[in-house]
Chains A and B, each alone.
Chain A
């Protein structure tokens, strides 16, 4: 599905409608702190109620704005300008690094592995075969270790941060 298509806007409108409704309801049922005898106009749920309502109105307008619109034609040029394979790898590998690797293995090791695999993935094919590829991968490994150690030392000893 094209992210700029009317269908994408309709789905977003539905999600925003639900989100707005949830926030409005959440604000409405929020504790009104009567026990503290606060002014009734200063209840914590007041603004969330309004924001939820306004988001719901915007979602309705967003849904209505797609009426009569057709899916935009995706030109060859715009298809060629995007590389979803590269993107998918970058997204999945970066999330794995941030959510799974960091905090489970020492930061310096995790970041060296992350950088080496990230860079190596993109340079594996362009680096050719045999000796050239081996040389490139060694260079990538060295680069990853240097950067990982550099960043870790900077934060640990330069800014006195306890690394994850």
Chain B
């Protein structure tokens, strides 16, 4: 797994995740989110369009990211266009915890 450079659109900090978001790659994303929140960014978008596998550890990192942004009155939006990755979120009912978006544009423009 690797992270593609974060860019900003309005109040949102957008990071693309590429590869396998699992127990091996997940810690790097957790560190990245913690660093961003530590720098005061509380509105994050994680673009998982390039993720080809996610496990429960990866899901846990995203739940933790939402918790950290909410503590700063911020929010986390997740872009998951691929049905097979979306299904893993749905099996764990996480589509009820945060809305899953199909594009970055949709994520940053939704009120």
Q: Do A and B come from one complex?
A: no
Which A residues lie at the B interface, using CB under 8 A? none
Which B residues lie at the A interface, using CB under 8 A? none
